[in-house]
Structure 1
């Protein structure tokens, strides 16, 4: 059986439906979190962590956070969750297969 990947998604919309600014917020947040990687992996030059990835979902900037980050670095997990809460952003959760996770990172 293939292990499923749990994700926490931060949407670029406030709870009142307003677009979150600045427009590059997702890339900035993912850039701050770039150092958190699976053991033994190297990110190379200017790459995001596979645990915190900026994406577009239905035309809205989002950040997909792999819940394994919580075990890897609890303070980093607390930071991304706090970012969403402090900025009153919409969030959701989902479970995907490793193949779907790979598509997101491509």
Structure 2
């Protein structure tokens, strides 16, 4: 029986600098994800409303009160330069990063 394919790892870029300061501007995560929105499986969307929506490979989230951007390593296969861009953004702005896995919300009882 073949092993299931490993899910791409996820990098969480946290809106906190290495020295503990909150990163500004407050909408940094939405801006970064907006820039990354064309980079998605199957390529950029076209037509009416194509500019609306984030790529599933780079999404903003608030986790425990901290703004984050969750970047899937699958972005590297879609566009290596986009992958490098988000990692360099984190490094250049001294943002904390962690490799993790976003767990789905549990269904209500």
TM tier, smaller: 0.7 to 0.9
**Structure 2 CA distance for partners of 1:54 and 1:85, relative to 1, 3 Å:** same
Structure 1 residue 5 displacement after superposition: 3.7
Equivalence for 1:69: 75
Q: Structure 1 segments of 4 or more deviating over 3 A? A: 40-45
The structure showing larger relative contact order (alpha-carbon pairs under 8 Å, at least 6 residues apart) is 1
Q: Which runs of no fewer than 5 residues in structure 2 stay unpaired? A: none
Q: Which structure has the highest helix share of the two?
A: 1
Q: CA RMSD in A?
A: 2.0
TM-score under structure 1 normalisation? Answer: 0.83
Q: Which structure has the highest strand share of the two?
A: 1
Q: The residue matched to 1:21 in structure 2 has which SS?
A: coil
Corresponding pairs, count: 99
Equivalence for 1:16: 19
| Greater Cα offset, 49-58 or 37-46 | 37-46
- Kept in 2: contact 1:70–1:77 (CA 8 A): yes
Q: 1:91 aligns with which of 84, 94, 97?
A: 97
TM-score under structure 2 normalisation? Answer: 0.81
Structure 1 residue 12 displacement after superposition: 0.1
Q: Which runs of no fewer than 5 residues in structure 1 stay unpaired? A: none
Bigger-Rg structure (1/2): 2
Equivalence for 1:30: 33
